[in-house]
Amino acid sequence: MKISEIYGLPFINIELEFRGEVLHLERVLLDTGSASTLLNADTVREVGMVPEEDDLVDIIRGVGGIEYVYTKSLDSITVDGTTLNNFQIEIGNMDYGLEIDGILGFNFMRQAGVVINANFMELSIDKP
């Protein structure tokens, strides 16, 4: 899968499914420094991903400060033809001054076996 460089950062596209609704996201930042995968609340609202009373609310910390997020479990998330089911993500405002749909974090990369080749700007999945 080709990696695009936007704002000097690596971006890919992903597909997610939530309660039977499929959503394609095209501006997802690859971030090995992010422990979890985070999606933009405005972007995922169109498939019904909104805060609900039983959602876990948390605070995440990063270079840009702190952000309040809520947690959801996706039916699935697909990157480069590899699908992980029942994948937990966080949802937040992501008001970073960039047009961004989400951040693919290390939790996905580790579980899926992501390999990033920065020389060729490619992502692949190393399946055992």
**Cα(79)–Cα(81) distance, rounded to whole angstroms?**
5
Closest by CA position to 29, among listed 84, 102, 96: 102
Model confidence at 59, pLDDT cuts 50, 70, 90, reads confident
pLDDT at 62: 67
- Parent domain of 67: 4-125
Model confidence at 128, pLDDT cuts 50, 70, 90, reads low
Rounded to the nearest integer, the mean pLDDT of the chain is 92
Q: What is the CATH number of the domain that holds 101?
A: 2.40.70.10
**Cα(102)–Cα(92) distance, rounded to whole angstroms?**
9
Q: Domains in the chain: how many in total?
A: 1
Model confidence at 94, pLDDT cuts 50, 70, 90, reads confident
pLDDT at 98: 85
Residue 4 pLDDT greater than 90, yes or no: yes
